A and B are shown apart, each in its own frame.
Chain A
Amino acid sequence: MPVTDSGTPDEPDKRVSPGEPPAPGGRAAVPPALEVRGISKNFGSNRALDSVDLSIGQGEVLGLLGQNGSGKSTLVKILAGVYDPEPGGQLFVGGEEVALPLAPGQASEIGLSFVYQNLALAGGLSVLENLTLGQRIGGGFRAWQPINWITEHRSAAAVLDRYDVKLDLDRRTGELAPVDQARLAIVRAAEDLRRYRTRSGYKHSVLVLDEPTVFLPEEEVDRLFDLIRTVAAEGAAVLFISHDLIAVRAITDRLVVLRDGRVVGEELTADIHEEKLVDLIVGAPARPGASAPADAAPAEDQRAVELTVAAMESAGDAPAAGENVVAEHLTDERLHDLSFDIGAGEILGVAGLIGSGAEDLPYLLFGARPDAFGTLRLGAETIDVGGLSPARSVRERIALVPADRALLGLSQSLTLWENIVMLVEDEHYRGGVFRRGELVTLAQEAIDRFLIRPPRARNTMSTFSGGNQQKTLLAKWLLARPRLLLLHEPTQGVDVGARRDIYRFVKSAAALHHMAVLWVTTEFGELAEVCDRVIVVTQGRHTATLTGDELTEEDISAAALRQTREDR
C-alpha cells in the first residue's frame, strides 16, 4: 500500500493525495507537473509511439508500464532530448508549454531530473565529479569561476550522509559495483531536483526513473521507495518506469500502460488487480495480425522443416548423434545457482525480463563471462564454466549467435563467403595453400540453403540487410556442426520473412543433427512459436517451466512478469 505522508510544511495544498480520484475542477487549479499530448515517434516504418497522452500531477508517482518495444524508453529519450518526436506533439511543464524537440540536457533546465537505464555516469571521473556534474552546465561567467573542491567535497559528503549512502567520493566511478553506481545516479538525480526546486522557487519538478530497480537488491529497493516518497511529499512529480509489477504496485499512485506505442490503460494503482494489469501489458488475445498466422503456421512450418531436413540429407548432410546438455549451478553477478537441461535436438527457450540475468546465459555458456561459476555437461563430458573461453568453446563445438551481430558476430568489411567459411577454413588448408575454390563453393551451397539474398558470395557483408546478416551468422555457425547452439535475441531487427526462415533453419538443424538449442529472447511470442519447452528466469533463478499448451505468448509473458519478486 502506498504510504501517504501527512502534510508537508511548505505545500499543503499542492499535493495530490493518492487513492482519491482527482476532483474534476482540481486539475484546473494546479497544473500538472508534466504533461505530454499527442507525442509520436517513427523509426522508419516502425511507429514506436502513437499519439501518446500522459500527465503527472505534482506530488504524484506515476508508473509507466509496458513490454519491450512498447515505447517506454522512446518516450524517456524524447524527454531527455535524445530523440526528436514527430511534429504535432506538445509538452507542458508546470502548465507552461515547452517547445519541442528538446535539446539533449535541456530537460534539467526545465526541472526534469533523470536516472537513465544505463545510469549516464562517466566511468573515468570520480564519484564527486559525477555527483556534481549537473552543476557545471551553464555558460557565461559562471563557467569560469573557481571550484572550491574542498567545500564541494564536504558538502557532497553531507549530501551522501543525508541519503544514507556510503560511497568513496574520490573513487573512480567505473570501479564501483553496479549497485553503488545506481545509488550514485539516484542521489545525483534527487539532489539536482532539490537544487532546481530551490532555484525555481518550488515550482514543478519531475524525477524520471527508468528501470531503477534492475541493479538494486531488496533492501535498496525499499530505500529507493523511501526516497521517492520523500521527494513526492516535497511536491515533485515522479515518473517510475518499470516492468517490476510488485515495485510498481508498492510505490505508484497511478499507472499508465503502453502497448505497441499506444496508451492502452490508465488506472489508479490501488484499483487494479495484477491479472488485469498483466492482461493490459501483454494484450489479451495478442495482436490481431499475428494471431492468425500463428495458428496456421505450426502445420505449415512443420512441413517446411521436414522438407528442409530431407533436402539437407540428400545433399549429403549426415545426421549426427547429438548429445544431452545439462547446465548446473550457473552463477554470476545476476544468476543464482541456475540449473536446467536440454535434450539432444530440443529447443529450449529462456524467458526473462531485462535484469533477470537470462541475457547473461548465452555468453556465460560460451565462456564470454570470466567471472562465472557452474558446470556444463555435454553428453559424457563435464566442463567447468569458469574455465571456458570463446576459443575453447569453439573447440568444444558450442556456438553463440550474439544479439549484437554487427559488432560481435560478423566482420562487416569482409565478403559474404569469407564470413560464412570463417570457422571451417582450417579444414580447407592443405599443402600450404588455402583451397579458395572449395571454400567459395561451400559458401555458395550455404547461401543457397540459407536463402541469403542477394546470393552474391563476393559482396561485402555490410551491404546485406539485417535479416540476411543474421542468416549468414547462423550459416557460419551451423557449418561448424555445433553440439550446442546458443541464441540471444536472434531475430532482433530482422524482417518478417527472414524471421520465418531463421525459425526453420534452427528447427531443421536441431532435428537433423540432434543439436541442443538454447533460445534466449524477450520476444515471448517467438519462444511460443519455436521452442519445445520454455523456462522462466526471474531475478537470476529458474522460477517456472512451460510446455505444450502453456506455450503461448500470454502465458509466457505472464509467468515472466508475475514473479518479478519473491512472493512474501
Chain B
Amino acid sequence: MSAPAPVDEARGEEHRADRSASSALWRTGLQRYAILIVFAALIIGFGVSLPSTFLSIGNLSNILGSQAVLFILVMAVLLPTVVGDFVDLSLGSSLGLSAMTLAVLNVQHGWPVLLACLAGIGAAVCVGLVNVLFVVFFDNDPFIVTLGTMTIVQGVIYIVSGSNSVGIVSTNLSNWIFSNEFLSIPLEFYYGLAIFLVVWYVLSFTPTGQKALVIGQSREVARLSGVRVNRQRAWAYILGAAVAAIAGIAYAGTNGTVDPTAGSALILPAYAAVFLGATAIKPGRINALGALIAVYFLATGTAGLELLGAQTYFQQIFYGAALVAAVTIPKVNRERFFRRRRAA
C-alpha cells in the first residue's frame, strides 16, 4: 500500500468536509430528535390501537400526574450529574428522608404542615452537606461515597419511622399537591414543570450553567479557565438534595402515607431518564429538556403497555431497553465495522 500523496491541507480538508458535512448533518439531526420521533410513533401506535382509553384526558392526567414525583427527582439528579459527579445515589434516600421527616413531624408531633415541609428540606440538605464534605472536600469517588450515605440515610429513615409507615399527612398538603387540579392535571406536575423551567434556563442560558457544563465535560479546562470548580460541585450536591426534598414533599402529598422505602425505587429510573435524555436534543450532553422528554417518553410507553394489558414488570424491561438502545444506536456506524475487518 503506498502512502497518500501530500495534499494541500486546507483544500484537502475542505473536500473531506464537504463530502461528510451533509451526511453528518443528517445523522446529527436524526440523533437529536430520534427520541421525539419514536415518542410520536409510540403515541400514534397506542392511539390507533386504543383510541378511547389512550387518547383520553384521564390517561393524559394519569401519565403527567403519576410521574410528577419522578420528574422532580430527575431534576434533582440532573444537578450533580451535569457537573460531572456521576452518580449521587443518595438522592433517592434524601427524597425518602424528607418525606418521612415531614410525615413524622406532621402526623406524630402535630407540626403545622408548612414547618414540617421546611424541616424535611433541611434534613435533605444536611445529607447534601455530608456528601459535599466527603466527596468534594476529601476528594473521594462520588459513587462510593453516595452509596455509603444512601444506606446510612436509609437506616436513619427506619429509625425515625420506627420501621412503620406513617400517615395520614395533612389533607391540606394533599390538596395542594395532588387533589387540586388545573386543566385536569394535578398541581404537582406544574411544580415539577416550574422546577424544570428554572433548571433548563440556568443550564442553557446563564454563565453559571455554562461553567457547570465545562466542569462536567473537562474539569481541568474549567480550572485553567478560572472556574471555581469545587464550589460549583458543592452547590450541585446541596441544591440536588433540596430538590429531592421537594420530590419527597410531593410524594407525601400524593400518597398520604409515607412508607420507609419511599424513594429508593425511584433513583435508578431517575438516572435512566437523565442518561436517556443525554442522547436527545443536545446529544452527548446532560440536558434538562432531554431529561423531560425521556421521563414522559418512558411514562407514555409504560402507560400504553398497561392499557394494552401488559403486566407491570414490562415497565422495567421498557426502561432498560430504551436506555441501552438510546446509547448504542449513535455508536452504530460504518467506521466500527470497517475497523474490525481490518484488524482481523
Contact = CB atoms under 8 A, between A and B. Distances in A.
Indicate, yes or no, whether A interacts with B: yes
Interface of A: 80, 82, 103-106, 108-109, 114, 116, 120-125, 129, 133-139, 142-147, 149, 172, 177, 179, 217, 219, 329, 331, 336-337, 370, 373-375, 384, 386-387, 389, 392
B206 A147 contact: yes
Given A124-B284, A133-B210, A179-B9, A105 B3 contact: no
Closest 6 CB pairs of A and B: A105-B226, A136-B207, A124-B217, A331-B3, A122-B218, A136-B210
Contacts of A374: 3
Contact of B342 (A116, A337, A387): A387
Given A137-B211, A177-B13, A172 B206 contact: no
Interface of B: 1-4, 6, 9-10, 13, 201-202, 205-208, 210-211, 213-214, 217-218, 220-228, 284-285, 339, 342-343
A145 B207 contact: yes
A336 B4 CA distance: 9
B221 A147 contact: no
Given A177-B13, A373-B1, A373-B3, A138 B223 contact: no
B342 A138 contact: no
Nearest to A149: B205
Nearest to A179: B9
Contacts of A331: 3-4
Nearest to B222: A122
A500 to B, nearest CB: 36
Given A122-B214, A217-B9, A135 B221 contact: no
Contact of A329 (B3, B201, B214, B339): B3
Nearest to A375: B1
Contacts of A143: 206-208, 211
Contacts of A125: 213-214, 217
A120 B225 contact: yes
A146 B205 contact: yes
A384 B205 contact: no
Contact of A121 (B3, B221, B343): B221
B217 A136 contact: no
Contacts of A123: 217-218
A80 B3 contact: no
B8 to A, nearest CB: 9
B285 A124 contact: yes
27 contacts: A104-B223, A104-B224, A105-B223, A105-B224, A116-B224, A120-B221, A120-B224, A122-B214, A124-B217, A124-B218, A124-B285, A125-B213, A125-B214, A129-B214, A136-B211, A137-B211, A139-B228, A144-B206, A144-B208, A146-B201, A149-B205, A219-B10, A373-B4, A375-B1, A384-B1, A386-B1, A386-B342
B181 to A, nearest CB: 32
Contact of A142 (B207, B217, B226): B207
A315 B122 CA distance: 73
B210 to A, nearest CB: 4
B95 to A, nearest CB: 27
B193 to A, nearest CB: 19
Contact of A122 (B1, B217, B226, B339): B217
Given A134-B225, A135-B207, A144-B208, 11 more contacts: A104-B223, A106-B226, A114-B224, A123-B217, A124-B217, A124-B218, A136-B227, A143-B206, A147-B210, A172-B284, A331-B3
Nearest to A192: B225
A147 B205 contact: yes
Contacts of A145: 206-207
A427 B90 CA distance: 49
Contact of B207 (A82, A138, A370): A138
| Highest count of chain A CB atoms <10 Å: which of B3, B9, B201, B205 | B3
A133 to B, nearest CB: 6
Contacts of B214: 122, 125, 129, 133, 136
A147 B1 contact: no
Contact of B227 (A82, A121, A137, A172): A137
Given A122-B221, A123-B217, A105 B227 contact: yes
A494 B223 CA distance: 30
Nearest to B343: A389
A122 B212 CA distance: 12
Contacts of B217: 122-125
| Highest count of chain A CB atoms <10 Å: which of B201, B220, B224 | B224
A217 B9 CA distance: 8
A137 B207 CA distance: 7
Contacts of B343: 387, 389, 392
